[in-house]
Amino acid sequence: MSPKITTELLKQLRQVMKNPKYVQEPVQAYIVPSGDAHQSEYIAPCDCRRAFISGFDGSAGTAIVTEQQAAMWTDGRYFLQAAQQMDNNWTLMKMGLKDTPTQEDWLVSVLPEGSKVGVDPFIIPADQWKRMSKALRSAGHDLVPVKENLIDTIWADCPQRPCKPLITLDLSYTGVSWRDKIVALRSKMAERKVMWFVVTALDEVAWLFNLRGSDVEYNPVFFAYAVIGMNTIRLFIDGDRMMDPAVREHLQLDSTLEPEFKIQVMPYGSILSELQAVGAGLSPKEKVWLSDKASYALSEAIPKAYRYLTPYTPICIAKAVKNSSETEGMRRAHIKDAVALCELFNWLEKEVPKGTITEIIAADKAEEFRSQQKDFVELSFATISSTGPNGAIIHYKPVPETNRTLSVNEIYLLDSGAQYKDGTTDVTRTMHFGTPSAYEKECFTYVLKGHIAVSAAIFPNGTKGHLLDSFARSALWDCGLDYLHGTGHGVGSFLNVHEGPCGISYKTFADEPLEAGMIVSDEPGYYEDGSFGIRIENVVLVIPAETKYNFKNRGSLTFEPLTLVPIQTKMIDVNLLTQKECNWVNDYHQKCREVVGAELERQGRHEALQWLIRETEPLVRVQ
């Protein structure tokens, strides 16, 4: 991977930073966040402005360009990748390390007195604006909104915003109709005494209307906003796809409906002016509810006294707790996904020794097997297919320049998943196609112990996911090892593979408590720079736990793995496991064999079935 040469681009950007055509007054710094106007994690090509200006195309990062310097903040997953993709114009700011300054502190340290710092108000979330604006102001600088995106002004061949057809989801997938979701939302609004709710996150719009799209790769969402009043529903979406008869039927656009369920369709670009009109027409005590992660631009459209901001919207919380139709769909999707991976690993086992399988070929083959499964739509994220040292790049994606050939001498890490119409998958397995070293097995086994510690944890109702994070690390910590990422994230149901408001990470504190029906990933790892990466990831469902006692009648929860793909026993040093851990692995493998075995049988995939049976032989622990 050779770095992008950005000297000329930065020169152009620094020119527009003082061009009165775009800025009222010159800005001494310009912030280029990762996100789009919906604060999406995965973004459309037209929104990849940070990657355009810097070359670094990981999923998380913020660029700041001043008159003299250019700096990029990103987290542990991307330290190596960012260093490789950026040229010498850029300073890498490693977030999470003790000596790394925050963006605010850095700006204060480098800016001349009384500077202006510009940012696109549609791209920066309201909460970040507030924090940064306050920090800058207290040091004598100003954060200013720059209406025209300055990157767009220098991006000659910027792609068009996508506008792809929609998919309608019926009750068998969603369990709840969009009308009932609107009713539930309005009841939450009434509880909080708000009159309007603004839906800004793309997955929240998609979930609310039981629609899916493909405007953004990997996330089945479409560019839209919605504004829900107590008696009105406005959907801001570009119009031609609203001509699809299936969509019109699904949204009952041509039916005679009670007025409060009549959807008014408006152009995507009119959200700001419509919201400003709503803001201007409010009577005292009429509040408007927005996420505090909504863009500064939209948040400012509502006068401050009328704004009701919360970190998590009622849609975000309702969406996280899957109903039985969604849970059953997720189960089906994970069984199909396991079928595809059994096929893949069986195939790799035969092909890798021939020395012809590269990371990209393996990733493509995984996609091919998945695409053979019913209701497959697309991948749920860019496949991380990595062998040897590439495995230590936590969010690696193979490209021709880095593409390595799988061999019997190196560890292979595959983190992949798909969108099926009935559910979203995300699974990581770490395999060795030859003979792993004792050290590799040792590290793998610590990671496995952490994985089991979370998966088998029993905890009281009301517990937040971040309180479980250390369980995943304990075995690694005992030996002086660790990994620099969180342990788990929420997973959508045929929606974004990363979703809030729950997760398992030492980094958060404001996560919502885990509840039965929530779905998260459990994915501890260990990475040795330049050598190998290990990660074991299952998607798990929060379920009630039966316990011997029941303190204060609080009830307990635990996890049920939805992912049912064998964990390579060859990589396990069984003598490092306790008997309980050993039983967990054997029970898990027994379930893989039964459930996925039956599906392989049904699909007539006999060779993969034989592989599954071989890979799920019980471990025996020498006492």
Q: Which residues bind its own copies (CB under 8 A)?
A: 98, 457-460, 462, 467-471, 474, 476-482, 506, 509, 545, 547-552, 554, 556, 578
- Give CA angle at 43 (429, 40), nearest 5°: 90
Which CA distances in Å does 216 have to 40, 198, 362, 496? 9, 21, 24, 10
Minimum CB distance to its own copies smaller for 478 or for 601: 478
- Nearest distance in Å: CB 247, its own copies: 41
Minimum CB distance to its own copies smaller for 152 or for 528: 528
Minimum CB distance to its own copies smaller for 20 or for 530: 530
State the virtual CA torsion across 481, 486, 492, 495 in degrees, nearest 10.
-100
- Nearest distance in Å: CB 148, its own copies: 34
DSSP 47-108: G-HHHHHHS--SSS-EEEEESS-EEEEE-GGGHHHHHHHB-TTEEEEETTSTTPPPHHHHHH
Minimum CB distance to its own copies smaller for 509 or for 620: 509
Q: Which two tokens stand for residue 619?
A: 């471990």
- Nearest distance in Å: CB 16, its own copies: 33
Looking at residue 151, its amino acid is: I
572 close to 596: Cβ distance less than 8 angstroms: no
Minimum CB distance to its own copies smaller for 332 or for 466: 466
Sheet with 411-416: strands ordered across: 384-387, 411-416, 427-432
Minimum CB distance to its own copies smaller for 342 or for 454: 454
39 close to 62: Cβ distance less than 8 angstroms: no
- Nearest distance in Å: CB 79, its own copies: 11
- Nearest distance in Å: CB 396, its own copies: 19
Query: What is the Cα–Cα distance from 367 to 359, expressed in whole angstroms?
Result: 12
Minimum CB distance to its own copies smaller for 197 or for 446: 446
Cα 132 versus chain centre, distance: 24
- Nearest distance in Å: CB 29, its own copies: 22
- Nearest distance in Å: CB 98, its own copies: 7
Minimum CB distance to its own copies smaller for 160 or for 623: 623
- Nearest distance in Å: CB 591, its own copies: 21
Minimum CB distance to its own copies smaller for 15 or for 547: 547
Which CA distances in Å does 79 have to 101, 107, 126? 15, 21, 27
- Nearest distance in Å: CB 109, its own copies: 12
Q: Which residues of 452-468 are buried (b: 16+ CB within 10 A; e: fewer)?
A: bbbbbbebbbebbbbbb
82 close to 61: Cβ distance less than 8 angstroms: yes
CB neighbours of residue 277 within 10 Å: 11
Look at residue 561 and give its three-state secondary structure.
strand
